[in-house]
Structure 1
Amino acid sequence: MKTDENTSRILTIMAKAYQNEVNNLLQLYIEKKRPVYVSYGDFCTFIPFWSRAMVVQDAKDIFKYVQKFNNPKLKLKAPQCCWHQPNFRITNNELEIQVGGRFGIGDTLKLPIMAEPYQQRYLKMELGKLTIHPYKQWWAAEFNVKVPEKPRSLSTKRMGIDLGIKVPAVAYTDDGKIRFFGNGREARFRRNAFYAKLTELQKKEDYKRIKELNHGLYRWEITQCHILSSQLIQFALEQNVGVLCVEQLHGIGKREVKHSRDKRDLNQWSYYRLIDNLRYKARREGLRVVFVNPRNTSKRCPQCGRLNTPDKRFYHCVCGFRCHRDLVGAMNIVHAPESGPVAG
């Protein structure tokens, strides 16, 4: 959101006051070793009265992490201010928030909205919490949106999804449609560059840069998981698939891997985050996700049932069947028995 100088000043005052009150209340909780009651009248008057409940909630949420990780240094690091419905509304491409009369501008403040077309459709849905915070030279507004779920698909068509390192995902439908997703070489190149830079910074003991580097890799992995899961869901919808089959990957970090580089990539690749993204996006589209037993899915021949060890990237069987090894996994996953609860 682009704002004029006076509006930016008001938002800055509210955001910093909100941050300070959350951290002050958090310190009180830490001293008392539990959340304690504080009257809304004791909060800074620059914080809108309707936002003070959010101050308490944010302080309680951070306090839970303080207890969980036994780290009293945790705090709200960035200035921000929050509202909950019905204390804000969107009309005529403007965001109207309640600020009270403290700033001499009346009870409300109107902010122009700059949203991409794909974001506009979310603004028409049921909105929950609103968070406004500085972003570069602008101000950003983040909304919690309740996305309506579509009715459960009546299709019984299944799609197997094999997750890997060199090929991040392979999808195979029970009627023979195939698609490969992601670029494993790019992912490995990025991780190798990351570890090379990390080693260099560790020698220099540049801990600030190390923290920034770790955060950059984390953001990149989150983005890749969202892109990959969205592509898988889109392919499933195009093929009228109703059930997505994925391997039950408990203990994936403990698998036996011959090469240390593969072991490092296996532990780094965000399988669980990808599956979580896949589950909630599938539920939103009315699809089901089932977990299947991964036993021998990469070794069993889909044609004759014999067990074979894949040769590098290709799978060969004495019956004459020959295929990409990751595709064999996806083909077997479609017909593998379920081993976990149905999700979605």
Structure 2
Amino acid sequence: MSLLSVKCKLVPDASTAEKLSRTVNQFANACNYALQVAHRDSVWNKFALQRAVYRELRERFGLTANLAVRVIARVGKRKGKKAKSFKPNSVDYDQRILSVNIEAETVSLSTVDGRVKIPMHIGEYQRQLLRTAKSIQGGVLVRKKGSWHIYLWCEHDDPPVINPNGFLGVDLGIVNIATDSDGEVYSGKHLNSVRHRYRRLRQKLQKKGTQSAKRLLKKISGKEHRFASHVNHRVSKCIVAKAQRTGRGIALEDLRGIRERVRLRKPQRATLHSWAFHDLAQKIRYKAERAGVPLVFVDPRNTSRECPACGHTERANRPTQALFRCVVCGYSGLADHFAAVNIGRRAAVIQPNAGAWNAAHGYHATCKPRTSVRGR
């Protein structure tokens, strides 16, 4: 079984929106109160924390029984993390306090002012996912910039995983978003130009500092992120479709912690920190799971310095960012392509133990319900 989070826009009237706002605010206040108690008394066990704060959550904040339990569950996840307060922007729901009518396009939610029924917009792709789901496990109500959305957690049967005939290696990068072992390049030129344009615009507006500049900064916030997410959706769909069509698995590098490991000059740091490799990897991951395509993460060390012809590994094999030329055998070509070939070969070697390797490195077969689907 896997969970997929399907995002739908809500269209509440003024009265219902006010009820939702009060619920979001009280939910956040209750979370902050429970968090204070948890830190003060070092109580993180679900049942112990419930005994300590449940009655207060019901009486002081006016939450229903199930909303109070959702507060305790959310706060319990903060164990070992910094005491950062919760913001009033979302509420967690389970099956008992959320129900969906797909045909009528409505969702029923529990609030501090009773149960409300809210119209919502469902696209054709979202409708298909909701209809084919075995069940809806719950969801998250989100308020953002005056708009309301519901993220519904849909439980789906995992498709049969294919027995791969080799692996499609994929090298993720900044100049080229991705390059596969077949030699296909997904250029990042347009995305990087958009990022640079927004970065320059933000710098100018922040330097100006007027009220109109601040309004414009607020207006353009999120545009760059949405554009990058759209590009990553498009690239991930192409990669997964190719692997499925050719009966291969997908191999990616395990790039976690790369921002801390890499040392760059100051002008290059902004480019590195805006590199959305994790987002692209997660999109490839959940799309591959839904298509039954095996996904393997491999050790990234020296994938771009190893010669795919003779195996010689040396820094001098990369005379430039784009070019690979082996100093021993003279084999040369596009560096990203050769890196992708090496990634695919490493995946083929660890394939028999891929499940154990991925589990040991924190990768699991079931995708967490955090990836939204909007017509992808």
User: Per the shorter chain, which TM-score range?
Assistant: 0.7 to 0.9
Residue 262 of structure 1, CA deviation: 4.6
Q: Which residue of 1 aligns with 2:128?
A: 121
Percent identity, aligned pairs only, is 22
Q: How does 1:120-269 map to 2 (within 5 A)?
A: 120-124=127-131, 125=133, 126-134=135-143, 139-172=148-181, 177-181=182-186, 183-197=187-201, 199-200=203-204, 221=228, 224-241=231-248, 243-249=249-255, 252-253=258-259, 254-255=261-262, 261-262=267-268, 264-269=270-275
1:298 counterpart = 2:304: yes
State the distance in 1 between where 2:111 and 2:280 align: 43
Question: Quick one: structure 1 residues 215 and 99, their matched pair in 2 at CA, closer, same or farther if it must change by over 3 Å?
Answer: closer
Question: Quick one: structure 1 residues 312 and 228, their matched pair in 2 at CA, closer, same or farther if it must change by over 3 Å?
Answer: same
Q: Give me the TM-score of the superposition, normalised by structure 2.
A: 0.69
Judge conservation of contact 1:247–1:294 (CA < 8 Å) in 2: yes
Structure 1 runs not aligned, ≥5 long:
none
Residue 167 of structure 1, CA deviation: 0.8
Residue 135 of structure 1, CA deviation: 5.2
State the distance in 2 between where 1:260 and 1:88 align: 49
State the distance in 1 between where 2:68 and 2:162 align: 43
Residue 101 of structure 1, CA deviation: 11
Judge conservation of contact 2:24–2:91 (CA < 8 Å) in 1: yes
Structure with greater helix percent = 2
Greater CA drift, 228-237 or 260-269: 260-269
State the distance in 2 between where 1:59 and 1:136 align: 24
Output one character per residue of 1:120-163: Cα deviation in whole Å (capped at 9) or x when no partner: 12323221223334455653222122333211212323111112
Output one character per residue of 1:53-110: Cα deviation in whole Å (capped at 9) or x when no partner: 223323444xx27x52244xx22232x444311333223324353649966xxxx533
Judge conservation of contact 2:205–2:217 (CA < 8 Å) in 1: no
Q: Secondary structure at the match of 1:57?
A: helix
Q: Which residue of 1 aligns with 2:118?
A: 111
Residue 222 of structure 1, CA deviation: 5.1
Question: Quick one: structure 1 residues 296 and 203, their matched pair in 2 at CA, closer, same or farther if it must change by over 3 Å?
Answer: same
Residue 300 of structure 1, CA deviation: 4.5
Residue 221 of structure 1, CA deviation: 4.9
Judge conservation of contact 2:107–2:120 (CA < 8 Å) in 1: no
Q: Given the alignment, which residue of 339, 352, 356 partners 1:329?
A: 339
Greater CA drift, 333-342 or 49-58: 333-342
Aligned AA (1:75): F
State the distance in 2 between where 1:96 and 1:201 align: 41
Tell which has more relative contact order, 1 or 2 (C-alpha 8 A, sep 6+).
Answer: 2
Question: Quick one: structure 1 residues 223 and 54, their matched pair in 2 at CA, closer, same or farther if it must change by over 3 Å?
Answer: farther
State the distance in 2 between where 1:77 and 1:141 align: 15
Q: Secondary structure at the match of 2:163?
A: coil
Q: Which residue of 1 aligns with 2:16?
A: 7
Judge conservation of contact 1:127–1:144 (CA < 8 Å) in 2: yes
Residue 165 of structure 1, CA deviation: 1.7
1:283 counterpart = 2:289: yes
Q: Give me the TM-score of the superposition, normalised by structure 1.
A: 0.74
Question: Quick one: structure 1 residues 199 and 98, their matched pair in 2 at CA, closer, same or farther if it must change by over 3 Å?
Answer: closer
Aligned AA (1:287): V
Residue 237 of structure 1, CA deviation: 1.5
Q: CA RMSD in A?
A: 4.0
Question: Quick one: structure 1 residues 137 and 218, their matched pair in 2 at CA, closer, same or farther if it must change by over 3 Å?
Answer: closer
1:42 counterpart = 2:59: yes
State the distance in 2 between where 1:280 and 1:75 align: 28
State the distance in 2 between where 1:221 and 1:326 align: 21
Q: Secondary structure at the match of 2:169?
A: strand
State the distance in 1 between where 2:65 and 2:196 align: 50
Q: Which residue of 2 aligns with 1:57?
A: 73
State the distance in 2 between where 1:100 and 1:267 align: 39
Aligned AA (2:93): W
How many residue pairs match? The answer is: 326
Larger radius of gyration: 1
Aligned AA (1:130): G
